[in-house]
Amino acid sequence: MRHRFYLSRLVLAASFIAALSGVAFAQTGRVGGTVKDEGGQPIKGATVTAENPNASPSSFTATTDDKGRFSVIGLRGGTWTFTAQAPGHSPESGKLNVSTIGTPNPPLTFTLKKGAGPAGGAGGVAGKDLQAELAAADADYNAGKFDDAITKYRAIMTKAPALSVINLQIASAYRNKKEYDNAIAAYNDLLKTDPSNEKAIVGIGMTNLEKGDLKAAEETLGKAADSPTASREVFYNLGEVKFAEGQPDEAAKWYQKAIDADKTWGKPLFKLALVSLNKGDKDGTVKLMEKVIEVDPTSPEATQAKAVIEQLKK
C-alpha cells in the first residue's frame, strides 16, 4: 500500500509540473569564437560542442571555417559547457552563462595543445561545408523532422568520422521517436570510440527509463555513480530513476548528491522540492523553491518554482 500511496502522489506532482511545462523562454542566443593552436594559428575543421542539460535541445555542434571561426545559434539562456576538439590536439572546455537578450555574448577563444585528440579527421571536407550540413541537420531536428535529421547526421559522420559525438544527437532523435533500442545503439556507437563518454552512459540509463526498464536504468546509472569521477548528471538521473520507482526518499539522496556536486544547479533542487511536496511539507517546499530561484534564476526550473510558490501561497 505504501508503494501505491507514493505513486499516486508522484502522479499528482508530475501532472502539476506538466501543466507548467508550457512556460518557456522564446528567446535564443548566439555564441561565436575561434579555435587556434599553440602558435596562434587557426584550426580548420575543429568541432565545438555546446551542452546544457537544462535546455532543449541540450546539445549543439559546430565546426570551424578556414580562419578557425565557429558560431552556435539557437542557445537558450543559461550556463552552457563548450568543448573544442581537433585531431592531434587535446580537447579544451569552458563554461559560459549565455544571455538571450541585451548585451551580446562575449566571444570564446580556444587554444588547443598538441596531444591526444579525436581519432580521424574531417578528411577533405571543408569546415564551412560541415557547418552548413550540421546547421541543416539541427534545423530538421528542431523542427521535429527526426528521420531527416538522422539521415543528415549520419551522412556527416560518414564524411567526418571524428564527429562521433553526433551520435548523441542521433540518439536524442530516436528517443523523440520513441525508438529506444535504436537510441541505445547510437549511444553504444559513440562508446566504441569514446568508452568513458558519460553523456552516452547517462543517455542509455535514461533511455531505459523511458522504455520502462527501470532495472536496466538503475544498473547502468548505478555503475556510473560508483566511479570516482561521476558527475552531477549521473547523480541527478539516478534520482530520477528512484523517483520513477516510487522511492522518493532514495531519490532525495541522489538529488542531494547532485546538489553537493554543483550548488548552483536548480534542477535537482527543484526535484528535491517535489519530494517535499509529495510529503505534504508545504513550508519546506516553498523554501526549496525559493532556493531554486536564488541559485539558478534564469533556468526553466526557476520559472516553474515561481508558479508553484504562487499556487501554494493561495
pLDDT surpasses 50 at 177: yes
Residue 51: its H or E element: strand 47-51
pLDDT surpasses 90 at 271: yes
Residue 97: its H or E element: strand 92-98
pLDDT value at residue 127 = 57
89 pLDDT band, cuts 50/70/90, is confident
- Helix, strand or coil, per DSSP, at residue 275: helix
Taking a C-beta distance cutoff of 8 angstroms, is the pair 285, 277 a contact? yes
pLDDT value at residue 102 = 62
pLDDT surpasses 50 at 23: no
Domains of the chain: 29-195 (2.60.40.1120), 263-314 (no CATH)
Rg (CA), the chain: 20
Query: How far is C-alpha 154 from the geometric centre of its chain's CA atoms?
Result: 20
The answer for 212, left when phi > 0, alpha when psi is -120 to 50, beta otherwise, is left
Residue 130 to residue 58: CA distance in whole angstroms: 20
pLDDT value at residue 13 = 47
Query: How far is C-alpha 60 from the geometric centre of its chain's CA atoms?
Result: 10
Amino acid letter, residue 192:
K
pLDDT surpasses 80 at 24: no
Amino acid letter, residue 10:
L
Lowest-pLDDT choice from 110-124, 187-201, 260-274: 110-124
Find, among 278, 283, 308, the residue nearest to 5 by Cα. Answer: 278
Neighbours of 19 (CB within 10 A): 12
State the average pLDDT over residues 219-223.
Answer: 92
pLDDT tens-digit series, residues 114-167 = 865 554 444 445 556 777 788 888 889 889 999 999 999 999 888 888 778 889
Residue 73: its H or E element: strand 69-75
Bridge partners of 81, per DSSP, are 51, 95
196 pLDDT band, cuts 50/70/90, is confident
Neighbours of 23 (CB within 10 A): 11
pLDDT value at residue 27 = 59
pLDDT value at residue 208 = 93
16 pLDDT band, cuts 50/70/90, is very low
pLDDT value at residue 5 = 34
